[in-house]
Structure 1
């Protein structure tokens, strides 16, 4: 593999924004890719994957390169040198790469590979927390969460069957395969820009991980129901619910961020999902108005996102123990307050994209033991670990409210 100066410099510029200015990796990579119209899919793939790789392995690479944050430009080149050396890529004789200690890089890598916090490139506190909460499973789980995520699509059954979508994507040179046990899911054989396809523009699918696709099914939906998606965000699960309800009944998609609900409206229009109504939560009145009005309530709670580190590797460096403490309080408040919108006899699903029991089973237990949880019974819950499923780490619990 031959390195091209403009592509390497694009990676370095993007790393500077992510590491030194605290920007989000996905947004900055997306902005960088728009910089030069002449870049082909291979060039863009190199920039995106190399940047994500260096973000993912930041702790390991900076330890090998013996550099600390904030990273100067020469130090960012040193991180890049470690990345390239470990992949067996020949280092060009540019001045930025003078005196590359190839042998020392490989030696340090061998030494550090024996220590989890370096080999899996995570902060000390995260390693300690993972061991405390997951015990022996932590090492396998964090290893799986450092692998590149698969691209999974969810067929929009309001418009097309999975089989027809598969044929359509084949015609656009994107081969896929169904996944057993996930009725609407298709997995790409290799990464591709699916958003440029006609199938996407026609609203035939959304990109949604297989684990996340389990959540709407857990609600046991029927056409004609009134369903509340209480933390809808940009609405991936709301769209899935609308499809499972065959556009009949009502999905009330709620969030505290108006920009996310605006994006949801745009997606719903493309998907042909007519039974979704968005509501901004700008006061407690919005929740009170819906007291005991819904057949189903989904609380897809904000969380650490530890189960989706493969997609957001920069979250490793943005998370903190303080954030975890705050988010756990928030999760419990949401369970206590939003559960009131459920009718007697209805089902509540609590879900997170975290693998930590303290955000999952323990939150549900605390709710059931509280006054607000009186009258709720746990029907089932599912802990999805990335190293066992091959998909994102996830959790959901189904609670029934007695009549």
Structure 2
């Protein structure tokens, strides 16, 4: 039998010491525990909260532990390190859990994992924290668990106040956002389905036919999901397709499409009279896209493996709309994938910006004269966003277009009039950090 705490600690070791992605490692561990041991929903939710919360607050937790331990956190054995982090998170941020239970369960786990000689160490550290569960006096980097160089960058770009709002927003929990596939289900049928499943829905900001859902244990067990009536998709991602604004019956290419949310949105907007070609680099990624397509029955959507860096001469000047939502540092998604903040480096950002330009150098060629290219990322760095926006304008025959005709007035700004939108968590309600820009190819 595996407990929620043991499962969470195992996932934390996989993420912080073995390089796993938290959302994937956690999902696989929960599925296995449910199948093998019948783990209940309450324990699944507790394990999820422990993984997410510990990763989000890691640097602050380390500061608290290091203030009491002669052995620095970084030099501890991986299992003990993650056990202390996870337990410290409970003591500092989950006051509804008795401190005695946190300490006792941690000692039991240390024993179960054969760390008999360290159970006293674990108990001593946690008992001391339980007697003084105040937060340590630290700088913004540790307080918000962000690398110091990244905090400074954001402050230079957005100012201190907006940066603090954004970093705080990464801690906030948002309900699951879904979008109605308007081409296959009407709103009344969808509402009736949600009522039968006991779900509650609240409209999301900025996007029509989209809601936050609550009241489900697993979204894939709901009628609306199984029948392909809804698509799980972040609001920011929805806005990229809204900005693309494909007309009915047009041809669309989505270059780096996995997991497929934007491809599905574009296919829904253009309808069965159009065509969508969704591509990505690996079989694993294209499988995710196919699963979404088959669930909704979008037969006008084709899925292929392809390397977006390599020019496909058969597609030159063929597409009405090209969606280039390209590989990026993903800093805007920290609310879902908190470990990203500890892995990114300035060098990686430069390398990703260069990769994006390598793909963009091919992407614009697929756009028909008079057609549209949308360049987007899920990050918050000028190298990957604004600098690439100007690179496209200066190095291709594409002209930036104002986004204001496609966006609600609440999102209009000086930059949207120029052709791009930088979404920031906390500043733009319900959104990840996301960049969206739109270009039109000159007619010959």
TM-score between the two structures when normalised by the length of structure 2 = 0.83
1:83 matched to 2:89 = yes
Is contact 2:51-2:86 (8 Å) kept?
no
* Corresponding residue number in structure 2 for 1:64: 64
1:389 matched to 2:386 = no
Deviation at 1:181? 3.3
* 1:112-191 pair list within 5 angstroms: 112=138, 115-136=139-160, 137-189=162-214
1:241 to 266, 275, 279: 266
Is contact 1:174-1:188 (8 Å) kept?
yes
1:226 to 241, 246, 251: 251
CA separation in 1, counterparts of 2:426 and 2:3? Answer: 37
CA separation in 2, counterparts of 1:17 and 1:368? Answer: 42
Deviations 1:109-156 (A, max 9, x none): 1412xx210110012222222223323322211221232233101112
Deviation at 1:400? 1.0
CA separation in 2, counterparts of 1:273 and 1:130? Answer: 41
Count of residues in correspondence between the two structures? 395
CA separation in 2, counterparts of 1:356 and 1:261? Answer: 27
Distance of aligned partners of 1:43 and 1:294 in 2 relative to their CA distance in 1, 3 Å threshold: same
Is contact 1:159-1:204 (8 Å) kept?
yes
* 1:295-310 pair list within 5 angstroms: 295-310=320-335
Is contact 2:171-2:335 (8 Å) kept?
yes
* 1:250-329 pair list within 5 angstroms: 250-282=275-307, 287-329=312-354
Q: What runs of 5+ residues in structure 1 fail to find an aligned partner? A: none
Is contact 2:91-2:130 (8 Å) kept?
no
1:111 matched to 2:137 = yes
Deviation at 1:285? 6.3
2:19 to 22, 27, 42: 22
- Secondary structure of 1:322's counterpart equals helix
CA separation in 2, counterparts of 1:230 and 1:13? Answer: 35
Is contact 1:158-1:273 (8 Å) kept?
no
CA separation in 1, counterparts of 2:157 and 2:282? Answer: 31
CA separation in 2, counterparts of 1:246 and 1:6? Answer: 47
Moved more, 215-224 or 276-285: 276-285
- Secondary structure of 2:153's counterpart equals helix
Deviation at 1:68? 2.3
* 1:36-75 pair list within 5 angstroms: 36-66=36-66, 67-69=72-74, 71-72=76-77, 73-75=79-81
Is contact 2:21-2:339 (8 Å) kept?
yes
Deviations 1:150-209 (A, max 9, x none): 310111222213443233122111211223531121112467421111221111112101
1:401 matched to 2:441 = yes
Distance of aligned partners of 1:13 and 1:262 in 2 relative to their CA distance in 1, 3 Å threshold: closer
1:355 to 370, 380, 396: 380
Distance of aligned partners of 1:376 and 1:261 in 2 relative to their CA distance in 1, 3 Å threshold: same
- Secondary structure of 2:173's counterpart equals coil
- Secondary structure of 1:388's counterpart equals coil
Distance of aligned partners of 1:14 and 1:279 in 2 relative to their CA distance in 1, 3 Å threshold: closer
Deviation at 1:5? 8.4
CA separation in 1, counterparts of 2:203 and 2:9? Answer: 38
CA separation in 2, counterparts of 1:317 and 1:180? Answer: 30
TM-score between the two structures when normalised by the length of structure 1 = 0.92
1:207 matched to 2:232 = yes
Moved more, 359-368 or 45-54: 359-368
Deviation at 1:75? 2.9
Is contact 2:177-2:211 (8 Å) kept?
yes
Is contact 1:226-1:249 (8 Å) kept?
yes
Deviation at 1:279? 2.7
* Corresponding residue number in structure 2 for 1:377: 400
Moved more, 294-303 or 379-388: 379-388
Deviations 1:268-301 (A, max 9, x none): 1111111111232258765222111111111011
CA RMSD of the aligned region, Å?
2.1
* Corresponding residue number in structure 1 for 2:414: none
CA separation in 1, counterparts of 2:171 and 2:188? Answer: 32
CA separation in 1, counterparts of 2:310 and 2:169? Answer: 43
Deviation at 1:331? 1.3
